[in-house]
Amino acid sequence: MTGADSLLGGSLLSAAQLSRAGLVEVFDVAEAFAEVSRRAMPKVPTLRGKLVATLFFEESTRTRLSFETAARRLSADVASLGVASSSVKKGESLRDTAATVEALGADVLIVRHRSSGAPAQVANWLQHAKVINAGDGSHEHPSQALLDAFTVRAALCEARGQVSEGSGASVFEGLRVLIVGDVRHSRVARSQVISYRTLGARITLCAPGTLLPRDADEWGVDVAERLDDALGEADVVSVLRLQTERGSGSHLPSLAEYTATHGLTERRAELLKPGAVITHPGPMTRGVEIASSVADGPKALVTRQVANGVAVRMAILFLVLGGEPSLLQGAP
Amino acid sequence: MSERTIIFKGGLVAGARAVTRADVLVADGVIAEVAPDLAAPHGAAVLDASGCVVGPGLVDLHTHVREPGDEEAETIESASRAAALGGYTAIVAMPNTEPPCDSASVVADVLARGRSASCEVAVAGAITVGRGGRALAPMAEMAELGVTLFTDDGACVHDGDVMRRALEYTKGLSVTCAQHCEDPVLAAGGVMHEGRWSSMLGLRGQPTLAETSIVARDLGLVALTGASLHFLHLSAPESVRLVAAARDRGLPVTCEVAPHHLTLDDSQCVSYDPRFKVNPPLRPTALVKELIELLRAGAIDAVATDHAPHASERKDLPFDEASPGMLGLQHALGLTVEALGGTETLDLLVLFDLLSRHPAAIAQLRGADERRAGHSPHGGDVAVGEAANLCAIDLESPTVVTDASIVSRSKNSPYVGRTLPVTVRHTLLRGVPTVLDGAAVR
């Protein structure tokens, strides 16, 4: 994996685009914007006059809300086109919809689509506007993986008494990340595997055989057969949502059996190391992939992920739209 | 000499058994003389064949002409022009049109439309009504019109009992069934090959087993019924090995591969460019190499294009929503030469076996058949008295594929920008030029 050292001025389609330096740049810019988010007036004029368009061809509230909040905090104008919009219902093609939104003057299109690769195709079709992949089919969800890693860096630095800003990728060196659940259908898992590996972590996947991706051994990861055996080794546990809308339901005998074999239950959470942390991209199905008490417990970073999501997406928008990181020095 | 006298000067001739240096004189649709250094008769059109090999016109077993029903994507006329430019003098039109060729009336209609085309157009009839895989189509009635090949191509005859009855029924008609091998249950809606790339790209994959399992089953049905069967567009080396082993045991089976399965692999899908979406899907490099080895070892009877034009609105879509298929007729020859190892070591007899003689034999286009009005024999020897269905291939001039050079009504070729090792210089249909100096003339 040899990605670029900066996201500056490019589209964000895959986590594989970014090198370790490129990822760390996003994290450091996000730290600055996290500070903005904590202000009484959490808004900066950075992207004033820019038009950010969200094109969500698949239902989503969390990611869309997060991106739109990020754009507004940067003072960008926001235009939204949803799956229920009239043009899509009337049968307009993705290509025509994207061209129309670009013609309206959008500087960046944030695209979520049920088809893997759709944001990459949109990026090819457009003349000037940039594209941010907000989740494509079972392919990737790079902004989610970036905010997960950012949150993990902040939490682990805090636990070690370090300042996370400027800490680079040091906390990821040799870090053991365990990804549990529907890896086969998960776009979050693909982006996580790529970005955590780029940062220097070691990845283990654990899933029922039907939910493991084909040829997972070629992903440069380990595969654990039993969750109980893998938990004690992990520094980070990434619990995935069961993607029943993408067919994982037919891959399992029952949700109860899934919980029994791969759910992060209270008993299993006790197998974790004291300093281990848990992430979940949301929305959680409590009682299925994660027990309520675990989700609300001290190891879970779920609410911090959501808060950090806005800061990381502010950083992504800022960089994609060509903002120089040096502009941020003391600025916002 | 009449004005329909043409002489190929200065080239090689690929006959049925040997390649020789000779000129070829054609008069009134028939080969009149084959000898070195022939003097051009008065009034004869002289075609420069220097650097070329003159051989039998190519025969495609697998063309989707899209007419009737999808004339925006391709017509018989446009497909036949692409065919002529590719060196073809005959194509077999697949029956997955709208309406499908599952009755004598539709077959007669397509045959009639093909009579004025730039190549001869034979028609494959459907095995089942509506290509629905249930009730047998009126194959005897279609056979009366000269249909010799039956297939539900685009769909597999998945029900083993229906396929068995189709084989039993066609055995008495002196025609051949052809199977599109794809178990729809195992393929499970896969849009590319299942493996490392589908897994990374998050695209639903189909395993080679979806193809090989049907090949294995149908070989069993051939053994059971004694009927002949042709296997369409095999993409997995294991499929070819199964067919070759059965052929060696004496079963009446043949198989074809498509040029794209010899020249592209599944890593191309990383661009999510739907031009690389095709069914059966592009396979991994290792399997492509094995398939090339099997081609060179003589295990494969024919190369057939699976020419599948699609209008841009069917391809300018997300990968999983786009229609599968790619153009083939104009470039299959060059791609086959590439797969065989290039012009330096090329065995011209093997080349014409794969692209002309074997496909002509499989589709029963080698002899005259009074049921096929207006059709002439294809895939024959380049010898006195044979029908002048010929092509001259320039072995010394490579072709660069450009968007502008594509004459199909659709442009869905994955080869734009690629350099192919040969160029089709001239094509003659029943003694009349359809291509002269690389340009279509009718």
| Chains A, B: CB pairs < 8 Å | 62
Q: Which helix (H) or strand (E) holds B434?
A: strand B432-436
B312 close to A (CB below 8 A) = no
Which is nearest to A147 in space by CA: A214, A66, A259, A228? Answer: A66
Residue A255 has pLDDT above 60, yes or no: yes
Cβ atoms within 10 A of the Cβ of A147, count? 29
Which of A14, A57, A93, A126 to mutate against chain B (most B CBs within 10 Å)?
A93
Residue A166 has pLDDT above 80, yes or no: yes
Our answer to whether residue B306 is catalytic in this structure is yes
CA distances from B63 to B104, B253, B377 (A): 19, 20, 19
Confidence of residue B291 (pLDDT cuts 50, 70, 90): very high
pLDDT at A214: 87
Quote the minimal CA–CA distance from B186 to chain A in Å. 14
Residue B3 has pLDDT above 80, yes or no: no
**Given B203, B272, B317, which is nearest A93 (Cβ)?**
B317
Chain center to CA of A276: 20
A83 close to B (CB below 8 A) = no
**Given B201, B272, B313, which is nearest A93 (Cβ)?**
B313
Of all residues in chain B, the percent with pLDDT exceeding 70 is 99
CA–CA gap between residue A37 and residue B12 (Å, rounded)? 79
Three-class SS state of A92: coil
pLDDT digits (tens, 9 = 90+) for B12-36: 999 999 999 999 999 999 999 999 9
Cβ atoms within 10 A of the Cβ of A327, count? 12
Dump the DSSP string for B351-381: HHIIIIIHHHHHTT-SS--TTSTT----S--
- CA angle, A274 then A276 then A281, to 5°: 145
Q: Which two tokens stand for residue A44?
A: 């900066």
Diameter of chain A by CA atoms?
Answer: 56
DSSP 8-state assignment for residue B203: -
Interface of B with A in 313-332 (CB under 8 A): 313, 316-321
**Given A93, A115, A120, which is nearest B320 (Cβ)?**
A115
Residue B1 has pLDDT above 70, yes or no: no
pLDDT digits (tens, 9 = 90+) for B270-288: 999 999 999 999 999 999 9
Which is nearest to B328 in space by CA: B56, B58, B63? Answer: B63
Residue A6 contacts by C-beta under 8 Å, 6 or more apart in sequence? Answer: A21, A22, A25, A319, A325
Q: Which helix (H) or strand (E) holds A3?
A: none
Q: Which residues in chain B are closer than 8 Å to A94, comparing Cβ atoms?
A: 317-318
pLDDT at A242: 86
- State mean pLDDT over B386-402: 97
pLDDT at B408: 98
**Given B195, B203, B273, which is nearest A116 (Cβ)?**
B203
Q: Which residues in chain A are closer than 8 Å to B275, comparing Cβ atoms?
A: none
Q: Judge whether A123 and A289 are in contact, CB under 8 Å.
A: no
CA–CA gap between residue B334 and residue B318 (Å, rounded)? 30
Strand partners, A237: A178, A278
**Does A118 contact B196 at a Cβ distance shorter than 8 Å?**
no
CB-side neighbour CA atoms (13 Å) of B156: 25
Quote the minimal CA–CA distance from B325 to chain A in Å. 18
CA–CA gap between residue A29 and residue A35 (Å, rounded)? 10
CA–CA gap between residue B164 and residue A261 (Å, rounded)? 45
A117 close to B (CB below 8 A) = yes
A92 close to B (CB below 8 A) = no
Residue B365 has pLDDT above 80, yes or no: yes
pLDDT at B368: 74
Q: Which residues in chain A are closer than 8 Å to B195, comparing Cβ atoms?
A: 214-215
Which of B204, B270, B272, B277 to mutate against chain A (most A CBs within 10 Å)?
B272
**Residue of B23, B102, B266, B306 with catalytic role:** B306
**Does A116 contact B319 at a Cβ distance shorter than 8 Å?**
yes
Residue A90 contacts by C-beta under 8 Å, 6 or more apart in sequence? Answer: none
The bridge status of strand B12-14 relative to strand A236-239 is unpaired
- The total number of residues written for chain B in this structure: 442
CA–CA gap between residue B188 and residue B198 (Å, rounded)? 14
Closest residue on chain B to A186 (Cα): B202
**Does B203 contact A117 at a Cβ distance shorter than 8 Å?**
yes
Residue B363 has pLDDT above 70, yes or no: yes
Average pLDDT, chain B: 96
- State mean pLDDT over B293-317: 97
**Long-range CB contacts (within 8 A, 24+) of A284-287:** A284/A241, A285/A241, A285/A242, A287/A259
Q: Which helix (H) or strand (E) holds B88?
A: strand B88-93
A216 close to B (CB below 8 A) = yes
A213 close to B (CB below 8 A) = yes
Q: Judge whether B163 and B221 are in contact, CB under 8 Å.
A: yes
pLDDT at A327: 65
Confidence of residue B2 (pLDDT cuts 50, 70, 90): low
pLDDT at A332: 45
Confidence of residue A86 (pLDDT cuts 50, 70, 90): low
Chain center to CA of B5: 29
Q: Judge whether A290 and A263 are in contact, CB under 8 Å.
A: yes
CA–CA gap between residue B349 and residue A165 (Å, rounded)? 70
Buried-state track B362-385, b at ≥16 Cβ within 10 A, e below 16: bbbbbeeeeebeebbbbbbbbeee
Interface of A with B in 143-202 (CB under 8 A): 187, 190
**Does A115 contact B318 at a Cβ distance shorter than 8 Å?**
yes
Q: Which two tokens stand for residue B259?
A: 């040029």
Q: Which residues in chain B are closer than 8 Å to A136, comparing Cβ atoms?
A: 202
pLDDT digits (tens, 9 = 90+) for B164-188: 999 999 999 999 999 999 999 999 9
Cβ atoms within 10 A of the Cβ of A15, count? 28
Q: Judge whether B176 and B230 are in contact, CB under 8 Å.
A: yes
pLDDT at B67: 97
CA–CA gap between residue A305 and residue A316 (Å, rounded)? 15
pLDDT digits (tens, 9 = 90+) for B211-244: 999 999 999 999 999 999 999 999 999 999 999 9
CA–CA gap between residue A198 and residue A218 (Å, rounded)? 15
The bridge status of strand A108-113 relative to strand A130-136 is parallel
Chain center to CA of B74: 16
Cβ atoms within 10 A of the Cβ of B157, count? 30
Dump the DSSP string for B273-333: -GGG--SSPPPPHHHHHHHHHHHHTT---EE---B----HHHHSS-TTTSPP-B--TTTHH
Q: Is the dihedral of CA B65, B70, B74, B77 positive or negative?
A: positive
pLDDT at A331: 47
Strand partners, B413: none
pLDDT at A217: 82
CA–CA gap between residue A277 and residue A268 (Å, rounded)? 13
Confidence of residue B375 (pLDDT cuts 50, 70, 90): confident
Q: Judge whether B76 and B113 are in contact, CB under 8 Å.
A: yes
Closest residue on chain A to B193 (Cα): A214
pLDDT digits (tens, 9 = 90+) for B34-68: 999 999 999 999 999 999 999 999 999 999 999 99
**Given A93, A117, A121, which is nearest B201 (Cβ)?**
A117
DSSP 8-state assignment for residue A164: S
**Given A93, A214, A218, which is nearest B194 (Cβ)?**
A214
Diameter of chain B by CA atoms?
Answer: 67
CA–CA gap between residue B75 and residue B67 (Å, rounded)? 5
CA–CA gap between residue A233 and residue A226 (Å, rounded)? 12
Strand partners, B14: B19
CA–CA gap between residue B119 and residue B124 (Å, rounded)? 16
**Does A116 contact B321 at a Cβ distance shorter than 8 Å?**
no
Q: Which two tokens stand for residue B219?
A: 């070989």
Three-class SS state of B71: coil
CA–CA gap between residue A138 and residue B205 (Å, rounded)? 12
Which of A112, A131, A138 to mutate against chain B (most B CBs within 10 Å)?
A138
Residue A223 has pLDDT above 90, yes or no: yes
CA–CA gap between residue A220 and residue B105 (Å, rounded)? 58
A93 close to B (CB below 8 A) = yes
Dump the DSSP string for A265-332: -HHHHTTS-TT-EEE--S---BTTTB-HHHHTSTTB-HHHHHHHHHHHHHHHHHHHTT--GGGGTT--
CA distances from A97 to A90, A105, A289, B274, B275 (A): 11, 13, 37, 18, 21
A212 close to B (CB below 8 A) = no
pLDDT at A248: 67
